[in-house]
Structure 1
Amino acid sequence: MALCLGQVFSKDKTFRPRKRFEPGTQRFELYKKAQASLKSGLDLRKVVQLPEGENLNDWIAVHVVDFFNRINLIYGTVSEYCTERTCPIMSGGLRYEYRWQDGDDYKRPTKLPALKYMNLLMDWIESLINNEDIFPTRVGVPFPKNFQQVCKKILSRLFRVFVHVYIHHFDSICSMGAEAHINTCYKHYYYFISEFSLIDHSELEPLKAMTEKICN
């Protein structure tokens, strides 16, 4: 999937610089193992399962960063169509609206254009995955006790990107011939969060019908 995504989506339009794993680290080795499984054509339900003997938090960390990179690439490709005029509200159709709150500059849920919301979201995720106190990369440094809770929040907000892209920009995805690739990325994401119960299924309601169609 990594090669296909790179071929279909323009790397020049990546919304944020790609987060890379340091060669020689355990996280890098896990990442390579995950990528090899993806490229082997294995069932995605099996690909997301924790390899025997590996640490669950390391496995989650690798996937959170990888999903950030992939979803960042997908949104970056359609972002030129996602303007304040076309998408004045961060939403998923008429039924779902997402407001931004970070506890700092936005202390209350705030209605924003989708592009502004995406900028804030990617900045927020990037700051978390680059924070050594939350995503430690040094050998022997433990994950914080709230690590999985942080990852759940990241993954739930990344889901909103899928919602917006699928509902508001899917025509652009199809015009690039990228429908199969975003579907594969979504299935990988969905099987992963389901395998480890990382998102409450009520949050997945906006794409429920599509998920039932392509993930069964």
Structure 2
Amino acid sequence: MSMALKQVFNKDRTFRPKRKFEPGTQRFELHKKAQASLNAGLDLKHAVQLPHGEDLNDWVAVHVVDFFNRINLIYGTISDSCTDQTCPVMSGGPKYEYRWQDEHKYKRPTTLSAPKYMSLLMDWIEVQINNENIFPTNVGTPFPKNFMQVAKKILSRLFRVFVHVYIHHFDRVSQMGAEAHVNTCYKHFYYFVIEFNLMDHKELEPLKEMTARMCH
């Protein structure tokens, strides 16, 4: 990674404070295990596999938080070129438009600018991952029955950030020398959701050709 890029990533230009795992918790140990397999240069396909004897919910929870932190950071680095003027609609090229819907203000799918969509998305995810009833941090506290559904929804919405960044802002990513970093993060994400069947193939369509070149 170039020095300029290191500075950008070290500045931690996220919209949000990172969600961290408390040392001493099982999640922290799993997080370290996941990081270690990545740092050991393990093939990403193998790095995402569930370690022997670990609980799938725990493994998914750790990765959802990690992807949130990293994708947040990637978007943070290009956010100066993603404005209401440049990106009046949250999209991935002419064929894909992503509308926002939630339980509060936007009860119906609503067209929003990309930065407004991203801001709502990151807020929404942050609320979920900081909710002890959905992402319990204490060992022995069971996950809710709908945990996988929530995780899938978070991941499919995070995927849209990749779609927007790759299709509309890749020149900015290249300019900053961040291409290899973003590609690695994408591959890691892709292998993870495929390994545990966490996203519908239809949702992966917008980056299908790029993924075929990069991941097969």
Query: Matched residues in 2 for 1:31 and 1:6: separation?
Result: 22
Query: Matched residues in 2 for 1:183 and 1:206: separation?
Result: 16
Query: Matched residues in 2 for 1:152 and 1:93: separation?
Result: 23
Q: Where does residue 111 of structure 2 map in the other structure? A: 111
Query: Matched residues in 2 for 1:8 and 1:183: separation?
Result: 17
Aligned length: 213
TM-score of the superposition, structure 1-length normalised? 0.96
Q: Is the 8 A contact 2:12 2:73 kept in 1?
A: no
Query: Matched residues in 1 for 2:111 and 2:10: separation?
Result: 30
Query: Matched residues in 1 for 2:14 and 2:149: separation?
Result: 27
Query: Matched residues in 1 for 2:50 and 2:6: separation?
Result: 26
Which residues in structure 2 correspond to 1:84-95 (within 5 Å)? 84-95=84-95
Cα drift, residue 8 of structure 1 = 5.8
Q: Where does residue 183 of structure 1 map in the other structure? A: 183
Q: Look up the SS of the partner of 1:100 in the other structure.
A: coil
Q: Where does residue 25 of structure 1 map in the other structure? A: 25
Q: Where does residue 68 of structure 1 map in the other structure? A: 68
Cα drift, residue 16 of structure 1 = 1.5
Query: Matched residues in 2 for 1:104 and 1:125: separation?
Result: 14
Query: Matched residues in 2 for 1:67 and 1:59: separation?
Result: 12
Evaluate the alpha carbon distance shift between residue 207 and residue 77 of structure 1 in structure 2; reply closer, same or farther with a 3 A threshold: same
Q: Where does residue 128 of structure 1 map in the other structure? A: 128
Two-structure CA RMSD over aligned residues (Å): 1.3
Evaluate the alpha carbon distance shift between residue 6 and residue 130 of structure 1 in structure 2; reply closer, same or farther with a 3 A threshold: farther
Q: Where do 5+ consecutive residues of structure 1 fail to align? A: none
Cα drift, residue 15 of structure 1 = 2.3
Evaluate the alpha carbon distance shift between residue 12 and residue 63 of structure 1 in structure 2; reply closer, same or farther with a 3 A threshold: closer
Q: Where do 5+ consecutive residues of structure 2 fail to align? A: none
Q: Where does residue 160 of structure 1 map in the other structure? A: 160
Q: Where does residue 49 of structure 2 map in the other structure? A: 49
Q: Where does residue 192 of structure 2 map in the other structure? A: 192
